Amino acid sequence: MFAEKAIDQTDKAEFYRELAGQLSALLEGESDAIANAANTSALIFQMMPDLNWAGFYFLYSEDELVVGPFQGKPACVRIPVGRGVCGSAVAQGSSILVEDVQAFPGHIACDAASRSELVVPLLHEGRILGVLDLDSPLPGRFDGVDQAGVESLAAIYTSACSWDE
C-alpha cells in the first residue's frame, strides 16, 4: 500500500532507491498508462527538489511526441522527433542530460525559467513509447546519479502499465 513519506536527500542514490520504492507502491495494482503517468509526475514533482516541470510526452506517431500528464506550467503540446531535448532523446534512443539548455542546439523553451533538463525514454519490449521529462530552473541541477535514478523510475512506470500492441 502506498504511503508517501519524506525522503532524506543527503545521499542521492539512497534517495532514488526510496523514491523507487514509493513509486512501486503507488502504481501497484494499476495498469492504466495515463493514470500512472499522472501519479508518477505528481510524486516526482513533489519529492524531487528544484524542479519546475516533471511530466510525460508520448509517441503517438513515429515522428511526433504529444504532451501527457505533467506537473508545472503549461507545456508545448507537440514536439517533432529529433527536435529539442525530448525529440532528440527519442531519435537517439537514449537519455539526455543537459546542464544548460541555453547551450543545447534547437532547445524548445516551453518555460523560459528552465535552465537544465533530463529526458529519459520510456522503453517497453524494445520500442520507445515516449519520454519522462524533468526541467529545473537551476543550471547543472542533474547529474549521472539523477539520470540513473530517473531511468529506474521510468522503468518502474513502464513495467506497471499495460501497453496495447
Among 64-73, 91-100, 108-117, the range scoring the smallest mean pLDDT is: 108-117
Task: Tell me how long the chain is.
Answer: 165
Q: What is the pLDDT of residues 6-51, one digit of tens each?
A: 777 789 999 999 999 999 999 999 999 999 999 999 999 999 999 9
Grid coordinates standing for 133?
A: 521529462
Strands (E), the chain: 53-61, 64-72, 78-80, 96-98, 116-124, 127-136
The HSE-up count of residue 26 (CA atoms within 13 Å, CB side) is 21
Average pLDDT of every residue of the chain: 92
Instruction: Check pLDDT > 60 for residue 161.
Output: yes
Please state the rounded mean pLDDT for residues 44-64: 95
Cβ atoms of 54 and 117 within 8 Å: the answer is no
Q: Which residue has the higher pLDDT, 24 or 101?
A: 24
Lookup result for grid cell 525559467? 113
Instruction: Specify the 3-state DSSP secondary structure of 2.
Output: coil
Share above pLDDT 70 across residues of the chain, in percent, rounded to a whole number: 93
CATH code, residues 12-160: 3.30.450.40
Instruction: Check pLDDT > 90 for residue 107.
Output: no
Confidence label for 2 from pLDDT (cuts 50, 70 and 90): low
At residue 14, the pLDDT reads: 95
Instruction: Check pLDDT > 60 for residue 165.
Output: no
What are residue 112's phi and psi, to 5 degrees?
-60, -20
37: closest CA among 165, 154, 163, 164? 154
